[in-house]
Amino acid sequence: MVTFVDEVTLHLRAGKGGNGCVSVRREKFKPLGGPDGANGGDGGDIILVADPQTTTLLSYHHSPHRAAGNGGFGMGDMRSGAQGEDLELPVPVGTVVKDPSGEVLVDMIEPGMRFIAAPGGRGGLGNAALASPKRKAPGFALLGTPGWEGDVVLELKTVADVALVGFPSAGKSSLIAAISAARPKIADYPFTTLHPNLGVVQAGDVRYTVADVPGLIEGASEGRGLGLEFLRHVERCTALVHVLDCATLEPGRDPVSDLEVIRAELGAYPVPEGQTPLLERPQIVVLNKIDVPEAEELAAFVRPDLEAQGYRVFEISTVARKGLRELTFALGEVIDEHRKAQPVEPVQPRVVIRPKGSRKEFEIRVEGGTYGNIYRILGEKPVRWVQQTDFQNEEAVGFLSDRLDKLGIENELFRAGATPGSTVLIGEGDSVVFDWEPSIGSAAELIQAPRGTDPRLMQGGRRTSNERREQYHARQDARAAARAEADEVRRARRDDLPEEAGTKDDAS
C-alpha cells in the first residue's frame, strides 16, 4: 500500500464562465424599456496553497482529477450570474509546481503561499453591457469562456534542517527514531526506508527538523537504487550527517571508503541554480553501532583520519544511546549559526506586473495547405473573442467582425499575402475556420484591383443606402403609373356605357 508520494501529476479543469443574457425590459406604458440582460459569472479558479500541516501528496495520487465550479448564467432584470466556487488544494511546503515539459512554474517554499494553477473562464457580457449609442438594444450577448484545462506536475522536496545520508542499513532510521518522535520502519535488511521520514529534535533552546533519506549506493546519481529518486529531499537541507556503519560484514567496505562513495554521489547530483552545492554545506560524520566491540575499535582507528579531513566526528550507538546528546547539540549549534546568518526579512507579497502595449495583441502564421496557404491568427484577444461569439446569431458574428477589424487583423492579413476567399483560422488546434472577405475600409493599401475598380464592390452583396432609396422611388413611381393607367381604363369604360344605352332605346 502506498503511504508516501512525492511526485504526482494533477489533471485540472477550472470553472467555465457563464453566458451573458439577452433580454429587453418590458414594462407597462414603457415600450422602449431598453436592454436589461446581465452578465454571466466568472468560473472558479484552482489555487494551490502551501500548508505546513500537509506532509505528502498521497491524496492527489488517489484522486488526481480536480475541477472548480462553473459560473452561473446571466438573467434578465439585471440579475448577474453567480461566481464559480474556487477550489483550494493544500500542498506541503517545499512543493515545486511544473508544467508537463518540466518548466518550473512556482516553488512553494513559504507557508501560506498561494498560486493560481488553473484560472477560471470569464463570464460573458449581457446585452445591457454591450449597449452603445450606435447599438441601443443589442440582440445578442457574449458567451462565457472555458476555464484553463491541463496538467501540472507537483514535486515535493522536503524542507528539513538536517539530512541523514549513508549506505542502506547504516542505521539512519534507528538514529532518527532515537533522537526524535519519528517512528520509521526498522529492519535488518537493505532499503527498509522507501520514503523520507521527518523528525523534530529539541536540543536546548534550538528546535530543528531531521530528514531520513533512503540509502545511497554507488551509482545512485546515475539511477541505481533508490537514492537518486529521493536526493531531491536533500536539496533544501542546511547540514548533512554522514551515517557510517562500523559493524558492516560486507567485504571491501569500511567507513572511509563508504564516505568517499557517498561524497562522490552527492557531488554528482546537480542542485538548482542559486543553491549551495551539497558538498559545500556543513557536514558531520557519525560512526554508528559502536555497541559492537569490533565496531568500537574500528571507529577509534578511523576517527583521526576523518578529523584530519576537517570533519567533526561523533561515535554513537542508537541501541545503547551513546553519544546522541552530544550529536544533537552539535547539530543545534550548526543550525542556530545558519539561522542567525540569514537576514530576517518579512515575507513580502508577490506583485505580478503585466505590462500592456509592450507586446503585439496577435500574430499571423502562414501555413501551407493542399488548396493554398492557410492563415492562422494567434493571440489571447482573438481567441477569447471567438470563444465568446454565438455563431448562430448574425448580429453577434457582425460584432466579432467589428472587433477583429479594430484590432488591425485585416491589414495584417493583407500584408501576409491573404486574398479574398483565403482560409483563416483563429487559435491553435481545432480552431474556427473562416473564408476571409475584406470589409470596405478607407485604407488605400487594401485595394487589390486595377485603379478605378474595387473587387469588394463587385460581390453583389448588401445594397448601399442610395441604391435602396433609388429602388424604392422606382417602385413607387411604377406603382403610381400603374394606378394612373388603371384609372384611365375605368374612366373610358364609364364614359362609353351611356351612349350604348341610348342607342338601344331609340331602336325600340
Q: Is pLDDT above 70 for 358?
A: no
- What is the average pLDDT across 465-488? 84
| Domain residue limits, the chain | 7-156, 162-341, 363-458
Confidence of residue 349 (pLDDT cuts 50, 70, 90): low
Question: What per-residue confidence (pLDDT) applies to 228?
Answer: 54
Looking at domain 162-341, does it have CATH number 2.40.50.140? no
Angle of CA points 475, 480, 481, to nearest 5°: 100
- Residues contributing to the annotated binding site for GTP: 166-173, 191-195, 212-215, 288-291, 317-319
Q: How many CA atoms lie within 13 A of 47 on its CB side?
A: 15
- Residues contributing to the annotated binding site for Mg(2+): 173, 193
Q: Is pLDDT above 50 for 443?
A: no
Higher pLDDT pick, 16 / 271: 16
For the chain, give the mean pLDDT.
80
Confidence of residue 499 (pLDDT cuts 50, 70, 90): low
Closest to 225 in 3D by CA, of 165, 163, 156: 165
Higher pLDDT pick, 268 / 43: 43
C-alpha cell at 326: 552530544
- Residues contributing to the annotated binding site: 166-173, 191-195, 212-215, 288-291, 317-319
Looking at domain 7-156, does it have CATH number 2.70.210.12? yes
Question: If you count DSSP H runs as helices and E runs as strands, how many of each does the chain have, helices first?
Answer: 11, 18
**How many angstroms separate the CA atoms of 165 and 226, rounded?**
12
**How many angstroms separate the CA atoms of 401 and 403, rounded?**
5
- The CATH topology of domain 363-458 is GMP Synthetase; Chain A, domain 3 (3.30.300)
Question: DSSP readout, 69-99?
Answer: PPPPPPBTTTBPPPPPPPEEEEEETTEEEE-
- What is the average pLDDT across 271-292? 84
Angle between helices 172-179 and 324-341 (to 10 degrees): 80
Q: Is pLDDT above 60 for 300?
A: yes
Higher pLDDT pick, 155 / 31: 155
Question: What per-residue confidence (pLDDT) applies to 281?
Answer: 87
SS3 381: helix
- What is the average pLDDT across 226-250? 75
Contact (CB, 8 A) for 92 and 57: yes
Question: What per-residue confidence (pLDDT) applies to 404?
Answer: 87
Would strands 7-13 and 283-288 be described as parallel, antiparallel, or unpaired? unpaired
Confidence of residue 229 (pLDDT cuts 50, 70, 90): low
Q: Is pLDDT above 90 for 124?
A: yes
Question: What per-residue confidence (pLDDT) applies to 216?
Answer: 67
Tens-place pLDDT, residues 373-407: 888 888 888 999 999 998 888 888 888 888 888 88
Confidence of residue 89 (pLDDT cuts 50, 70, 90): very high
What's the 3-state SS for 299-351? HHHHHHHHHHCCCEEEECECCCCECHHHHHHHHHHHHHHHHHHCCCCCCCCCC
Q: Is pLDDT above 60 for 444?
A: no
